[in-house]
């Protein structure tokens, strides 16, 4: 029997999302809520199951499969997860547990790889032969889709562009290295850079923010309002991203790059310096004029991408 729709679940450090997605990418039902700060693995699983069941009831469509995107690291393809931002799960058999609880065959992959596949199939990456999908959010990550298929690497971890080093001796990344794109441009890195600058006595409207208010979103807002420190940090983030992208473009020869994630809401404040730096750094005939586009699927991208993981029946070249 041909499955009529698939259930997509997107599990991030700050948000859980689930939805029922038609084989043509239309979202039939969608729900999102903050990720609970559960200390207990079963409690967190129960929250995911409850959200998934809610969207399933709302769509009232028969389901053929389940796709799950989850923050890494993950063990692929078996689907055990140890998300850096969800300490309740360590080597947790998420794929198997959700398959059992929801009664559906399940595919699990890294959330940013799922995003890349979703954009390749249904969003701004449609028609690309070699797509790099990149997210600048809590973390910086990426996924590579070649001829409609995700490139996995040996262990399923291909695409971790956030840990490409943009500058020797740069700021410390949460992975332990220095100068990674994450340290400049992520939702963790940007505020850390701001705190450091303020600690050195930089004058900025950011200094007046309440405790806990110094977020990437606040930095983007301050940059938009003309704050010089916020503007400088955002330009430095954009330049770091461009340096990483230039190297990856030389390696992969992508015909398109799709950029998504909360920090890309900065729009021209991020994209203008990024494109300018790319023009300086990407000088090969095949990396010049890189086709760089904002993501098209918006808040539903993670769920559509997760669903795309589970659509191989209708899309014979889909992942796995
Ligand atoms: Zn790193």
CA of 172 to the centre of ligand 1 (A): 8
Angle ∠(228,234,239) on CA atoms, nearest 5? 125
Preceding omega of 161 cis (within 30 degrees of 0): no
- Between CA 254 and CA 162 the distance in angstroms is 17
Predicted confidence (pLDDT) at residue 316 exceeds the cutoff of 50: no
CA of 293 to the centre of ligand 1 (A): 25
Nearest partner of 54 among 116, 7, 11, judged by Cα: 7
Same domain for 188 and 210: yes
Residue 292 lies in a domain: yes
CA of 271 to the centre of ligand 1 (A): 22
CA of 203 to the centre of ligand 1 (A): 28
Question: What confidence tens digit (pLDDT) does each residue in 79-128 have?
Answer: 999 998 899 999 999 999 999 999 999 999 999 999 999 999 999 999 99
Same domain for 281 and 138: yes
CA of 19 to the centre of ligand 1 (A): 31
Q: Specify the number of domains making up the chain.
A: 2
Residue 73 lies in a domain: yes
Residue 83 lies in a domain: yes
Element (DSSP H or E) covering residue 190: helix 189-199
Burial 154-185 (b: 16+ CB within 10 A, else e): eebebbbbbbbbbbeebbebbeeeebbbbbbb
Q: 3: pLDDT confidence band, cut at 50, 70 and 90?
A: low
CA of 49 to the centre of ligand 1 (A): 32
Question: What confidence tens digit (pLDDT) does each residue in 25-69 have?
Answer: 999 999 999 999 878 999 999 999 999 999 999 998 999 999 999
Which residues have a beta carbon within 5 Å of ligand 1, which is an ion?
163, 173, 175, 177, 180
Same domain for 64 and 135: no
Question: What confidence tens digit (pLDDT) does each residue in 119-132 have?
Answer: 999 999 999 999 99
Same domain for 98 and 229: no
pLDDT, mean over the chain: 93
Nearest partner of 291 among 235, 247, 243, 253, judged by Cα: 253
CA of 186 to the centre of ligand 1 (A): 11
Residue 98 lies in a domain: yes
Q: 246: pLDDT confidence band, cut at 50, 70 and 90?
A: very high
From 39-48, 176-185, 286-295, 304-313, the region with the lowest mean pLDDT: 304-313
From 1-5, 52-56, 120-124, 164-168, the region with the lowest mean pLDDT: 1-5
List the CATH number of the domain containing 172: 3.30.420.40
Same domain for 135 and 87: no
CA of 180 to the centre of ligand 1 (A): 5
Same domain for 132 and 18: no
Same domain for 102 and 23: yes
Q: Is the pTM of this model over 0.85?
A: yes
Question: What confidence tens digit (pLDDT) does each residue in 203-231 have?
Answer: 999 999 997 899 999 999 999 999 999 99
CA of 240 to the centre of ligand 1 (A): 13
| In contact, 103 and 56? CB cutoff 8 Å | no
DSSP state of 163: G
Range of the domain at 270: 128-296
Same domain for 146 and 56: no
Residue 319 lies in a domain: no
- Between CA 230 and CA 13 the distance in angstroms is 24
Residue 10 lies in a domain: yes
Same domain for 85 and 213: no
Residue 79 lies in a domain: yes
Q: Report the pLDDT value the prediction gives residue 319, as an integer from 0 to 100.
A: 41
Same domain for 230 and 138: yes
| In contact, 179 and 171? CB cutoff 8 Å | yes
Average pLDDT estimate for 134-157: 94
| DSSP string for 153-186 | -SSS-TT-GGGSBSSTT-PBPTTS-BSBHHHHHS
Contacts by residues 199-204 (CB-CB < 8 Å, ≥ 24 positions apart): 202/229, 203/229, 204/228, 204/229, 204/230
What percent of the chain clears pLDDT 90, i.e. is strictly above it? Answer: 86
Same domain for 100 and 142: no
Predicted confidence (pLDDT) at residue 313 exceeds the cutoff of 80: no
| In contact, 138 and 189? CB cutoff 8 Å | no
CA of 140 to the centre of ligand 1 (A): 9
Q: Report the pLDDT value the prediction gives residue 211, as an integer from 0 to 100.
A: 79
CA of 306 to the centre of ligand 1 (A): 25
């Amino acid at each position: 029997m041909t499955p009529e729709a698939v259930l997509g679940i997107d599990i991030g450090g700050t948000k859980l999302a689930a939805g029922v997605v038609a084989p043509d990418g239309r979202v039939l039902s969608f729900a999102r809520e903050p990720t609970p700060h559960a200390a207990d693995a079963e409690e967190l699983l129960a929250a995911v199951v409850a959200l998934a069941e809610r969207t399933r009831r709302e769509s009232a469509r028969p389901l053929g499969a389940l796709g799950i995107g989850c923050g890494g690291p993950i063990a692929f393809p078996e689907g055990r997860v140890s998300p850096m931002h969800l300490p309740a799960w360590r080597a947790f058999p998420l794929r198997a547990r959700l398959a059992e609880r929801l009664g559906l065959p399940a595919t699990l992959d890294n959330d940013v790889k799922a995003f890349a596949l979703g954009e390749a199939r249904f969003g701004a990456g449609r028609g690309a032969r070699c797509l790099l999908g990149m997210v600048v959010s809590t973390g910086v990550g990426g996924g590579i889709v070649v001829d409609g298929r995700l490139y996995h690497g040996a262990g399923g971890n291909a695409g971790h562009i956030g840990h490409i080093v943009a500058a020797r001796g740069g700021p410390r990344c949460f992975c332990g290295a220095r100068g990674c794109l994450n340290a400049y441009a992520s939702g963790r890195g940007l505020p850390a850079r701001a705190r450091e600058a303020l600690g050195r006595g930089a004058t900025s409207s950011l200094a007046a923010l309440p405790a806990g208010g110094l977020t990437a979103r606040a930095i983007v807002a301050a940059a938009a309002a003309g704050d010089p420190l916020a503007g400088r940090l955002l330009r430095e983030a954009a330049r770091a991203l461009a340096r990483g992208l230039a190297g990856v473009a030389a390696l992969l020869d992508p015909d398109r790059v799709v950029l998504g994630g909360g920090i890309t809401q900065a729009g021209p404040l991020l994209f203008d310096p990024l494109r300018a730096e790319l023009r300086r750094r990407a000088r090969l005939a095949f990396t010049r004029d890189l086709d760089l586009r904002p993501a098209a699927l918006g808040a539903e991208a993670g769920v559509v991408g997760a669903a795309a993981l589970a659509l191989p029946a209708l899309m014979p070249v889909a992942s796995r």
